[in-house]
Amino acid sequence: MTVVYGYIYNKIDLAKEMLIEARKIYDSATNQMDHIKTILLSGAVLGIIVPLLKEKDIETSHDFKVDMLNYIFNTNEHSGAFKMTYNSLKHTGNRPKGINAWHDLKFEGHISSNSKYLLKDAEKDMDKLLKLNNGTVQL
């Protein structure tokens, strides 16, 4: 017996569409909610394409920033540091870390500048992904 749940989607194609939408929203942003939408869409795009780049041993935008940060300030950050606003908007709490959702309702950040940088990183990384195999991404 075959159970069909819906359509079959290519995540790279969806990521490209989300990235186009994120750019449109950012370019016409008039309020904080537009920047939040840009962050959420850009973060979702990165969630799809970054693992693909890493499997091909291609440095991502966040990896580059982390390497520079660690070199300049002699720290030991990881790429998640650049997605804190995205992660904060996406969910509350963290059971494995013992963070109660009700105690995780506030976060500090700069939403408009985070939307700009997350969008640029998603665009750069998508560019890298699309250049694989002369523009033909192997699935």
- d(C-alpha 117, C-alpha 119), whole Å: 5
pTM of the entire predicted model: 0.82
Q: What is the DSSP string of the chain?
A: -----S----HHHHHHHHHHHHHHHHHT--SHHHHHHHHHHHHHHHHHHHHHHHHTT---HHHHHHHHHHHHHT----GGGGGHHHHHHH---BGGGTB-GGG-S-----HHHHHHHHHHHHHHHHHHHHTGGGG----
Of residues 117 and 74, more confidence is placed in 117
The answer to whether residue 82 is domain-embedded is yes
The answer to whether residue 43 is domain-embedded is yes
Query: pLDDT digit string (tens) for 66-108?
Result: 656 555 656 665 555 557 787 888 888 889 989 999 998 998 8
The answer to whether residue 101 is domain-embedded is yes
The answer to whether residue 31 is domain-embedded is yes
Residue 5 pLDDT class (50, 70, 90 cuts)? confident
Mean of pLDDT values over 55-66 = 81
- d(C-alpha 38, C-alpha 123), whole Å: 12
The answer to whether residue 6 is domain-embedded is no
The answer to whether residue 3 is domain-embedded is no
The answer to whether residue 67 is domain-embedded is yes
What's the number of domains the chain is made of? 1
> Which structural domain range is residue 15 located in?
11-135
Which pLDDT does position 62 carry in this prediction?
Answer: 74
Which pLDDT does position 87 carry in this prediction?
Answer: 81
* Nearest Cα to Cα of residue 94 among 86, 84, 104: 104
The answer to whether residue 1 is domain-embedded is no
